[in-house]
A = this chain, B = another copy of it.
Amino acid sequence: MFGVTILGNNSAVPAYDRHPTAQIVTIEDTLLLIDCGEGTQMQIAKYNVRWGKIKYILISHLHGDHYFGLIGMITSMCLLGRQDSLYVYGPSKLKEIIELQLTSADTTLPFKLFFIALEEDGLIVNENKFTVSCFATQHRIPCRGFIIKEKKKKRKINKETISNYQIPTAFYDRLKDGEDFTTAEGNIIKNEDVTLPTRPCRSYVYSADTIYDRKIAELSSGANLLYHETTYVKTMTENALLRFHSTTHQAASIALEACVDKLIIGHFSSKYEKLEVYLEEAKEVFSNTHLAIEGVTHII
């Protein structure tokens, strides 16, 4: 399982029962929370997210609609008796903000809380099954997007063909890594003759809050799923630029240029009760666009 569950899809002021940005990324048994607007812990309860499995929290930037729920999450994890370490990535000031609030409440956490300041682009998490890297976006304050990518899986031994050759089982691990086998006589048995390929590594790109920036298309190139904000409708290009956000057409253009399989749009303005306008406009440019709807999981 590799999927993204939307917990919040609104920008700035919550409205129409839409909540500020938060998403859960599930990779098998590990959960990552990307951004954590106010009320995220209530959304987590509402949608039965497995709190205890959240190992990483990635905060893109310090606008409140992306992190005001973090201190509540951490405090509730404490009250619920969490013991596993928690890794929080975000702007460097985040540590000070959270620690000041924990100290003021005289809270001692029963688990280890690690803050990792996002100060440059590149790899930030290196798990057995996936990696997370971050990249700077152009926003009003320092902001980063995230790329979550499965690691290449080992090839599988082809049980139907391997018996045709005399390859010691001790060499199987190297076959799984893609090596050819050379016999004592110097004959080469090609790896693809005795192993099966694995499916390509899946990836998810969360491009946070950003102006229209073709660098994101480059970074998202070939991704299975891209989340791109669409705070504004297509006619509001000037407002978008002025406020360091994107329009529907801009987000969809990035998806098109990047040749991603699927685009999710979100960070909707509180001006719009109905979201159809966002979807219709984005689809004019990139047909496989979906609205970020709270509670919906997108399998990658």
Contacts and interface: CB of A to CB of B under 8 A. Distances in A.
Nearest to A19: B42
B63 A105 contact: yes
Copies in the complex: 2
Interface string A1-43: 0000000000011110001000000000000000000110110
Interface stretch (A66-74, A153-161, A228-236, A246-254): A66-74
B62 A13 contact: no
A105 B62 contact: yes
A104 B93 contact: yes
B68 A42 contact: no
B45 A80 contact: no
Nearest to A77: B13
A239 interface: no
Contacts of A104: 62, 91, 93-94, 97, 141
Given A97-B100, A97-B101, A41 B69 contact: no
Q: Which of A64, A76, A106 has the most CB of B within 10 A?
A: A64
Question: Which size bracket describes the interface of A in this complex?
Answer: 20 to 34
A242 interface: no
A96 B100 CA distance: 9
A68 B64 contact: no
Contact of A100 (B75, B100, B106, B141): B100
B64 A42 contact: no
A38 B106 contact: no
Nearest to A100: B97
Contacts of A13: 41, 76, 79-80
Contacts of A14: 41-42, 45, 76
Nearest to A40: B38
A190 interface: no
A104 B64 CA distance: 9
A140 interface: yes
A19 B41 CA distance: 11
Most buried by B among A41, A68, A69: A68
B12 A79 contact: yes
A70 to B, nearest CB: 10
17 contacts: A12-B79, A13-B76, A13-B80, A14-B42, A19-B42, A38-B39, A38-B41, A62-B101, A63-B105, A64-B72, A64-B101, A68-B68, A68-B75, A94-B104, A96-B100, A97-B97, A97-B104
